[in-house]
Structures are given as C-alpha cells and as structure tokens.
Chain A
Amino acid sequence: MAELEIRHLSRRFASGGGVSTVSLSVDSGELFVLVGPSGCGKSTLLRLIAGLEYPDAGEIQIGGADGDRRELVAMVFQNHALYPHMSAFDNIAFPLRLRRTPRAEIERRVAEAAALAALQIDLGRRPGQLSGGERQRVALARALIRHPRVILMDEPLSSLDAQLRERLRVELKEFQRRTQRTIIYVTHDQREALTLGDRIAVMRAGTIEQVGTPTEVYNRPANLFVATFIGQPPMNILRCRVRQTAASTTAAPPSAEPALEIGDKLAVAIPFGLGGEVLLGIRPEDLSYNPGSDAVAFEASFTRVEFVGGGYLAYATVAGQEITALLDQPVEPGRTRWLYARRRALHFFDPASQRRAD
C-alpha cells in the first residue's frame, strides 16, 4: 500500500535548481532513499514532502489523506537543528508542549522516544554537551515522538566521522526493519544508498533518472548517468563502433550477429541490431584475469596500479581508451595483459539518448 504518493511535482527556484515533474510512490514500511549529486533536487524534494516548500505544480498525498502535513511527517535535519538553549528532554518534548500535552504523558512519551532512538544519556544535558552521534539520536527522538506516518531524513549522517557513520547506518537499518517505519532518506553517497535503501531513486538536475531496488539499479542502470553514478569506482565506459559481419535482415544465426569493434582489438557479438556507435559499460570489479565461460576479452596496457586494501586498482588503456579494473593480483605498469569480463556483465548504451540499449 502506498504511504506516499507524489504526482508531477514541480518546484523551480529563481536561483536555479529545484525539481521538475517528479512522480514517485513509496510503500508503507519502506526505507526509500533519494540519492544524487549536489544540486540534483533531492533535498528540495524532501522539503516539498515536509511542507517546508510549496510546489509550483503537482500534488503530494500521504496516507491517502490531505490533512495538515505537519501531523503526518517528521524530519531529521543534516545539522540536527536542535534548540541549543534547551535540554535534550525539552528538545524532544517540544512538539508535545506545543500541543499542551499533560506533563505525565510528556514524560512517558519522551522516555519512549528516547528508548526507540537508543538514547542513553542524561536528558537534562544540552546539545552543546553531547557528541555528534548523541545529538542525532536526540533529533531522531524528537522526530519519533509525534508518531509520524513518514520520517524524512536529510543527510543525517554526513556531518559525522566515517566510523560513527557506519555504525549509525547499521543501527538505522536495524531500527527500520524492527519498527517498520516508512523512511525517506536523502544522501549524496551512493554507497550509503545501496546499503540502506529498500528502494532507491537516483536523481539528477531535478528529475528522477531511475527508481528500483539497489540490485536493480546496480545491475541494470537505466542510463549512462545512473551507470556511472552508482558503483565506486565508477563504471568504465568505452566507445565502440558497430560492424556487421554478415548481411542478414532476418534473425541471424549467432555467428552472423553484428559484432562490436573496439579499435581493432576486439570483436564481440551483440544480440541486437545497431548502426554507428554504441557505448559499452563494464564495472571495474567485473574485470578479471580469468577467462571463465562466456567471457569477452580485452587487451589492456597497464599504466598504474594502486593497492586499495581488499585488492588492486589498476589503470589501463584498452584500444586507446582509459579504464580501471579492480583485480586481486597486482601487475607491473607498462605490461600488457588480457582482461576478461562475462558477457552478462556488459552494459550497452545508446550514445544519442544515453539510455540503456537492451
């Protein structure tokens, strides 16, 4: 059941940026991630959902109802936005105090929210006396106390150091799985998106490029942008010319399939008919020294190799174009070796539309 429906939402700013005719649907209990480079509109979209901005066109529906948005959503800000002059308790209790909730109930609900956020500090302390992680927990508790239908998170972990970020990310995923809350999470970090999201939406310049599960988006990127944005190191993109090996207008036998030329080094059969150029995408982690079955070969001249902990990042040229490969063994720079990629790991893109070609 869709908890959040967005239809044709647009909001443009005079200074540039914004979102343009965005449509989206988020299910109840889903951790939905909006990811994209800065300026892509993900924060704007989140703020539109929150009601902090008003759309130029389109509509937003939460829980199928049209009530006061503030009753339905809660938000955790990037810089926690806690009130520095109030104690943690008062920060969390603020929404209830505004509604004149009786004191006993406030205390009960604050304790409940603090427990949900795994907050284990003296609530009498002020934000200035808390660590970064504790502050975000307080911010989370403040968001949870209102029992919102949708929790919005605007890059809540980006101001924390890497280790803390990892830990809290795991906790957050666990929390969401346990409580089945609907969360919309904004980040610029594609890795965070892949690890956290049940589904992710990749955005660029105000529009959504692709929506899908992390696996879908990783394995079948809908266009060149998604292909190169998702995955680190980014996918290699090679420009290739298509050459017909046999003239046939009907379903051609495999050996007569149109072949792919990369410079003069390689011929690869591709299962569709295309004229002119095509873009071939291969992820660095899909290249290896082993041929295996059903693999395509590339002759690579290595220029540089870096040790990156779990393996080696090798820089090489194939048919004059630069690629990177994640390999488990190093190789001397200057040498030339064959690298292999399974045919299934190849991605083809139409150079004109930049869309996936299969």
Chain B
Amino acid sequence: MNTPDASPRWAAAARVVIEAAVVLAAAVPIYLLIKQALTPDLESFAWPPHWLPRNITAAHIKAIFALAELRSALLLSLAVAAAAAMVASALGTMLAYAMARREGLRRVGMAGLTAARLLPMIAVALPLTIVLIHLGLYDSPSGLGLALIHAALAIPTTALTTYGAFAAIPLEQEEAAFLDGASALRIFLAVDVPQAKLAIAASLVLSFIMSWDEFGFALLIQVTHRTMPPLLYYYTVFGDVGPASALALVMLGPAVAVIVALRPMLKSGALKGIQR
C-alpha cells in the first residue's frame, strides 16, 4: 500500500468525498448527454435548462441511421478507423519485429518513434493537406487520405505495443525453425506472430480508437465527406443539440467498451506510456 494504514478519520472521510465527486463529475455530464439525446430540441433550448427529461423521444437516435449525413459519417468513421488500424498494425508489427531482432535497428527505431510522437500536428497538417489535394485524395468520399494519415500517426503506438511481445520470444525457437527449413518470412508468420497475438490485438484496438477519436486532421481534410468528429463539432457549434448528443453517444461506444476491457491493465500502470 502506498498510504499509511492508520489514516486519521478526516482523511477517510475526505477520500469518500473525493471519490464521490469524481464519480459525479463523470456521471453527470454523461447523463446530460443522454438526456439531450432523448428529448426534443425544444426542451434542450429551454431556459433555465431542464435537469430532468419531460418528453422522451427516439427521433434523434433514429436520425443517426436515417439521416444521410449522420449515417454516412458513422460509416465513414468505421471505414477509416478499420483501414487505419489494419495498416498501422501490420506495418507497426513489422517494424517492431525488425527492431526486436536487430539491436542497431532498435536504437534508431526507438529514437525515431519518440521523435514522431512529439511532432506538432499543425506543422504537418497544412502541408499534408496540400499534398493530398495534389494527389486527389483531399476530401475523398472513401476517406482514403485520412486513413493513410491515421495509419502513419498510429504506427509509433502499434510498434511500441508489439515490440515487447516479440522481444520476449526466445531466439532458439527461431533457430529451430530455421534448421527445420523455414524462410525468414515463414519464421515470422509461423513462430512469432502467433505468440504475439495479444499484443497485436491490443495494437489494433488502440489504433482503431485513435482514428475514431481523431479530430484535427479529419476537420482539415474531410470537409464535405465528414467523419463523426468534425460533424459533431459543427453540430455542437451551430445548434442541433439533439443530433449532436446522439452522435456523441455513438462515438462514446467503442471508448467505453475499451475502458471496461482494459481496466485490469490500468491498475498496474501499464498504459501510462500512452498520451494524447
């Protein structure tokens, strides 16, 4: 334990108060979001604002799937995140494996990956937009340009997530496979990847969430064919409380699922390396 066992009584009381405050600070905003999603806009615009719902309606939720703009934003976010996750995982896994097997590559790789994480997005975003315009990938209906960018942004994370798993596989197994007659690629696929399954899955999830949540590049690049984050931005800033709240709730889905799944890891502080 990291605090003394016999704490004064006021400390225990303070603890309960703070824990309650933390829970409220998270619960109340989520509750309000849910309320706004389930009540007509008229209510949400009322002054003073209503804390409890008066009329429940499913209209906003239905609109997600009915309204073309909302539905295509959802589908586009899914497509971009899925594509980015697969590309980032594949490339990051390859890079992590190479780093795990060659000491020289590891040092260079670690330095490069750390530097990449510190790069300010805005310095890259504007010229990148120009490049995409030249390539015809600007504001594409398929979100291809955005997917490529998200993939590149996620590679440091996927590489760092899978590196440890590969480094832990004893070299003897690869030597045995080599003697059995396997090529280097075959060794990677048959011996290493199956043992790194968990880490690879984690990297898929992490890069999916990173793409799903990403706002800045999406705002700049997908101006008419929008993914959900920029769409939410416009809805929030220009009114449309109901659809905005419903959209926000949909966006919350994957995030909440991930927290619940990852809670055990949080205790051990394993995720502390992951930043914004």
Contacts and interface: CB of A to CB of B under 8 A. Distances in A.
A and B touch in the complex (CB under 8 A): yes
B170 A73 contact: no
A178 interface: no
A146 B180 CA distance: 8
Contacts of B172: 77-79, 81
Nearest to A47: B175
Contacts of A95: 180-181
B194 A81 contact: no
A142 B181 CA distance: 12
B162 to A, nearest CB: 16
A52 interface: yes
B186 interface: yes
B176 A75 contact: yes
Interface in A68-91: 70-71, 73-75, 77-79, 81-85
A81 B182 CA distance: 15
B173 interface: yes
A1 interface: no
A152 B190 CA distance: 24
B181 A81 contact: no
Contacts of B126: none
A52 B182 contact: no
A47 to B, nearest CB: 8
Contact of A83 (B173, B178, B181): B173
Interface string A83-122: 1110000000011001100000000000000000000000
A51 B176 CA distance: 11
A172 to B, nearest CB: 19
Contacts of B179: 50-52, 70, 73-75
B175 A94 contact: no
A142 B178 CA distance: 13
Contacts of A85: 194-195
Interface residues on A, range: 20 to 34
Which among B172, B182, B194, B195 has the greatest number of chain A C-beta atoms within 10 A? Answer: B172
A52 B170 contact: no
Contact of A70 (B170, B181, B194): B181
A78 B191 CA distance: 18
A335 B74 CA distance: 96
A83 B172 CA distance: 10
Contacts of A94: 177, 180, 182, 190
B152 to A, nearest CB: 31
Nearest to A90: B190
B182 A83 contact: no
Nearest to A79: B172
Contact of B170 (A51, A81, A146): A81
Contact of B195 (A74, A84, A98): A84
Contact of A98 (B170, B173, B181, B194): B181
A325 B170 CA distance: 45
A195 B194 CA distance: 41
B170 A83 contact: no
A98 B182 contact: yes
B175 A81 contact: yes
Contacts of B182: 94, 98
Contact of B175 (A52, A82, A98): A52
A146 to B, nearest CB: 8
Given A52-B179, A75-B179, A142-B180, A81 B186 contact: no
A118 to B, nearest CB: 21
Given A83-B191, A85-B194, A98-B186, A77 B176 contact: yes
Contacts of A78: 172
Contact of A79 (B170, B178, B191, B195): B170
Contacts of B194: 85
Contacts of B195: 84-85
A70 B170 CA distance: 20
A52 B170 CA distance: 15
Interface string A188-220: 000000000000000000000000000000000
A152 B158 CA distance: 39
A78 B173 CA distance: 11
Nearest to B195: A85
Interface in B99-129: none
Contact of B178 (A52, A71, A146): A52
A94 to B, nearest CB: 5
Interface in B150-209: 170, 172-173, 175-182, 186, 190-191, 194-195
Nearest to A94: B180
Given A81-B170, A83-B191, A98 B176 contact: no
A94 B170 CA distance: 18
List 3 tightest A-B contacts by C-beta distance, closest first.
A81-B172, A95-B180, A81-B176
Interface of B: 170, 172-173, 175-182, 186, 190-191, 194-195
Given A70-B179, A77-B175, 10 more contacts: A70-B181, A73-B179, A75-B176, A81-B170, A85-B194, A94-B180, A95-B180, A98-B181, A98-B186, A146-B180
12 contacts: A52-B178, A70-B178, A75-B176, A79-B172, A81-B173, A81-B176, A83-B191, A94-B190, A98-B180, A98-B181, A142-B176, A142-B180
Interface of A: 50-52, 70-71, 73-75, 77-79, 81-85, 94-95, 98-99, 142, 146
